[in-house]
């Protein structure tokens, strides 16, 4: 395995600075943000991916010796209005990944909140069939993160239909792979290791994020969280500052034969706000995981 991180947390830095700092800290890979160029999180100009951009990005990874584990574009592929635009950008991410020798593109299944779950699954099969074929033709796997994305549904229900092992098994029938993130399982009451073990062979990428349970909050709002704007009963932290048992998670990945990248997804509100604080959060994550993620 290799240890890396998702670059979106350092949106204010260019890719060269992010990669050079990552290599200096002992990281071995980057999962690079590939949103449209107008989005501040973008570190690869996928929508303007010409020969110059190819050489720019390739040069960064050649000089630093880092691996490019995935191009990340996590948006709603089933959105009733914006879905086709999202689908088209996923295609561009696939083409850029293939040109760069990157094995995966990460996105969400998403959800159309105006449809039932059953109808959403039918829609997803129609949407992702061509996307998976396009990716397969380019030698790239599309990986889906198991994030719940409650904010995408007006009533706070799951907005990304990929949050449970039951849905993972459905995704695999479409040719999609899993970008496994244990933090979301903790927030759903699912044992991350029990969920992981049967599915290691269908995991093509791993994100490392932790979950802190906030004392007393769930007693007021219940499992589904607040209906008002108040804070929920958990928050995401960098690995080592929450409930995930990283020794068991990484051991299960090793035992199952996973040899890919473990990519820190930094969404920790304590270690955010400035570049210096984000970098310190990434250092904390590195200290937690480095002795577990062995090449």
260 domain residue, yes or no: yes
Question: Which phi and psi angles does 143 have, rounded to 5°?
Answer: -110, 140
Query: Radius of gyration over alpha carbons of the chain, in Å?
Result: 18
Q: What is the CATH number of the domain that holds 35?
A: 3.20.20.150
What's residue 42's pLDDT? 94
Does residue 225 sit within a domain?
no
- The beta strand positions in 127-237, using DSSP E, are 141-145, 177-180, 203-208, 210-213, 234-237
Q: How many domains is the chain partitioned into structurally? A: 1
Taking residues 237-254, report their average pLDDT. 98
Q: Within a domain: residue 283?
A: yes
For residue 222, tell me if it sits in a domain.
no
Is 226 inside a domain boundary?
Answer: no
Does any domain span residue 246? yes
Q: Tell me the average pLDDT across 262-271.
A: 98
Tallying the residues shown for the chain, one arrives at 295
Distance between first and last Cα of the chain: 5
Question: With the CA atoms of 211, 213, 217 and 220 taken in that order, what torsion angle do they form, in degrees rounded to the nearest 10?
Answer: 90
The pLDDT of 116-127, averaged and rounded, is 98
pLDDT exceeds cutoff 70 at 143: yes
pLDDT at 174 over 70: yes
pLDDT at position 295 over 70: no
CA 264/CA 148 separation, integer angstroms: 18
Across-strand partners of 76? 108
Tens digit of each residue's pLDDT (9 = 90 or more) over 58-94: 999 999 999 999 999 999 999 999 999 999 999 999 9
Instruction: Please give the model's pTM, rounded to 2 decimal places.
Output: 0.96
Worst-scoring range by mean pLDDT, 10-19, 79-88, 139-148, 286-295? Answer: 286-295
Torsion angle defined by CA atoms of residues 12, 37, 183 and 61, in that order, rounded to the nearest 10 degrees: -70
Distance CA 151, CA 12 (A): 25
- Output the pLDDT for position 130: 98
Mean pLDDT of the chain: 96
The verdict on residue 295 lying in a domain is no
Instruction: Identify the pLDDT of residue 18.
Output: 98
In a domain, 217, yes or no: no
Angstrom distance (rounded) from CA 95 to CA 85: 16
Average confidence (pLDDT) over 244-258: 98
- 24-62 pLDDT, tens digit per residue, is 999 999 999 999 998 888 999 999 999 999 999 999 999
pLDDT at 22 over 70: yes
Model confidence band, residue 229 (pLDDT cutoffs 50, 70, 90): low
φ, ψ of residue 267 to 5 degrees: the values are -130, 30
pLDDT above 90 for 156: no
Domain that holds residue 265: 2-211+240-289
């Amino acid at each position: 395995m290799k240890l890396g991180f998702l670059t979106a947390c350092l949106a204010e830095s260019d890719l060269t600075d992010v990669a050079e700092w990552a290599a200096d800290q002992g990281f071995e890979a980057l999962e690079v943000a590939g949103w449209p160029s107008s989005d501040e999180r973008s570190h690869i100009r996928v929508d303007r991916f010409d020969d110059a951009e190819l050489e720019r990005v390739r040069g960064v990874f050649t000089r630093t010796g880092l691996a490019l584990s995935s191009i990340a574009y996590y948006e709603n592929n089933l959105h009733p209005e914006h879905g086709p635009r999202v689908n088209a950008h996923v295609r561009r991410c696939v083409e850029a990944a293939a040109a760069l020798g990157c094995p995966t593109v990460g996105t969400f299944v998403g959800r159309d909140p105006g449809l039932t779950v059953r109808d959403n699954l039918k829609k997803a099969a129609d949407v992702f069939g061509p996307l998976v074929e396009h990716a397969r033709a380019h030698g790239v796997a599309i990986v889906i993160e198991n994030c719940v994305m409650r904010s995408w549904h007006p009533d706070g229900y799951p907005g990304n239909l990929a949050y449970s092992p039951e849905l993972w098994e459905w995704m695999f029938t479409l040719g999609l792979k899993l970008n496994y993130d244990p933090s979301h399982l903790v927030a759903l009451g699912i044992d991350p290791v029990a969920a992981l073990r049967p599915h290691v062979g269908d995991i093509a990428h791993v994100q490392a994020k932790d979950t802190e349970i906030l004392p007393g909050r769930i007693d007021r709002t219940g499992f589904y969280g607040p209906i008002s704007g108040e804070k929920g009963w958990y928050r995401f932290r960098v690995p080592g500052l929450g409930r995930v048992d990283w020794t068991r998670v990484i051991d299960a990945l090793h035992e199952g034969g996973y040899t890919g990248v473990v990519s820190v997804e930094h969404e920790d509100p304590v270690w955010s706000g400035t570049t210096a604080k984000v970098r310190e959060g990434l250092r904390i994550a590195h200290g937690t995981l480095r002795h577990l993620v062995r090449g």
